Copies of this chain bind each other. A is one copy, B any other.
Amino acid sequence: MSEKIGFIGLGAMGGPMAANLARAGFALTVLDLDPAKVARLADLGANTADSPAAAARAADKTIVMVETTAQAEAVVLGADGIASGATEGHTVVCMSTIDPLAARAMHDRLAADGIRFLDAPVSGGTVRAEAGELSIIAGGEDAVFEDCRLAFEAMSANLFHVGGVGQGLAMKLANNLLIQVGTVAVAEAMVLGAKAGLDPETMFEVIRVSTGASFAFETRVPRILSGDFAPGGTVDISYKDMELETGFAKQLGVPLLVSNVAQQVYEMAKGAGYNKEDGAAVVKLYEKLAGIELGPR
């Protein structure tokens, strides 16, 4: 396969995603601030670049997998950014979870130079990233999406093309809102039941097959019961996602009553020192206030 891909950002998600592209035979040019992460990809045959512009010059499309909206904007539009290295027909694939309206604005800026843009955030965590089994939820033109299909298939088991530019991100935020509010609701329900004397294991067995069931319940409660708060996704990351969700809603004029309160629960969990633990750790906040523990702590 001779397709040439630039890849910016080799962190906990980007590292294994790029590795899967390298193994699938794509001609990669990678960039990260951490030389150790770059070296790992070089060992898999990737070239290295010293700026996003250089990575873009060496490729037909460039994938951006950084942490924040501001970082993505800097990588794409900043000094020595992708835009200054890419030529007409190049495709920027933003796989970071960022503000959908910022993504749309980037698209519009790039379009003026004939550069194409796709937002394609992922879901599934490090384990699935390594297995090449992420979900990818893309927004953008059909032709651009199809042009990225092979690369996506090297990283993903579930591929969705849900609409125009920014709508991959909008879908991801709507989905994440549900698991994050769901996690807080799980904490409230489990602490309420346990305080009433219910065995938390019994609660898990009954509710998982009842109308209260959810992906959040199914995945959070085993951690709560076993006391395993090693992340998955940290409280910090959930909080950052919720800020994208509530911030996006504010820009669109959609009131989010329950979601904004849930975000404040994550804020309290951060203040209580659980920020680097799994999102399920919000339960500890409720446990402390109710004077009860649902598992080994």
A161: nearest chain-B partner, CB-CB: B202
Q: A179 within 8 Å of B by Cβ?
A: yes
Q: A176 within 8 Å of B by Cβ?
A: yes
Shortest CB–CB separation between residue A154 and chain B, in angstroms? 20
Contact B178 A186 (CB under 8 A): yes
A260: nearest chain-B partner, CB-CB: B260
Task: Find chain B residues with CB under 8 A from A216 CB.
Answer: 211, 214
Complex partner residue of A206 from B137, B193, B259, B286, CB under 8 angstroms: B137
Q: A181 within 8 Å of B by Cβ?
A: yes
Complex partner residue of A213 from B160, B188, B210, B215, CB under 8 angstroms: B215
Q: A143 within 8 Å of B by Cβ?
A: no
Shortest CB–CB separation between residue A80 and chain B, in angstroms? 20
Shortest CB–CB separation between residue A238 and chain B, in angstroms? 12
Contact A254 B195 (CB under 8 A): yes
- Complex CA–CA separation, A167 to B215 (angstroms): 25
Q: Please tell me which stretch of A18-26, A60-68, A106-114, A244-252 contacts chain B, meaning at least 4 of its Cβ atoms lie within 8 angstroms of it.
A: A244-252
- Complex CA–CA separation, A177 to B211 (angstroms): 10
Q: A271 within 8 Å of B by Cβ?
A: yes
Q: A256 within 8 Å of B by Cβ?
A: yes
Shortest CB–CB separation between residue A262 and chain B, in angstroms? 5
Q: Please tell me which stretch of A1-9, A70-78, A288-296 contacts chain B, meaning at least 4 of its Cβ atoms lie within 8 angstroms of it.
A: A288-296
Contact A255 B271 (CB under 8 A): yes
Task: Find chain B residues with CB under 8 A from A209 CB.
Answer: 158
Q: A189 within 8 Å of B by Cβ?
A: yes
Q: A96 within 8 Å of B by Cβ?
A: no
What 0/1 pattern do residues 210 to 225 of A give for CB contact below 8 A with B?
1111111101000000
Task: Find chain B residues with CB under 8 A from A184 CB.
Answer: 257-258
Could you name 13 residue pairs across A and B whose Cβ atoms are closer than 8 Å? Answer: A173-B193, A175-B207, A175-B210, A177-B192, A179-B212, A211-B215, A212-B215, A214-B215, A255-B268, A255-B271, A257-B265, A268-B289, A271-B291
Taking Cβ atoms with an 8 Å cutoff, the residues of A that contact B are 100, 123, 135, 137, 158, 160, 162-164, 166-167, 170-171, 173-179, 181-182, 184-186, 188-193, 195-199, 202-203, 206-207, 209-217, 219, 243, 245, 248-250, 252-265, 267-268, 270-272, 286, 288-291
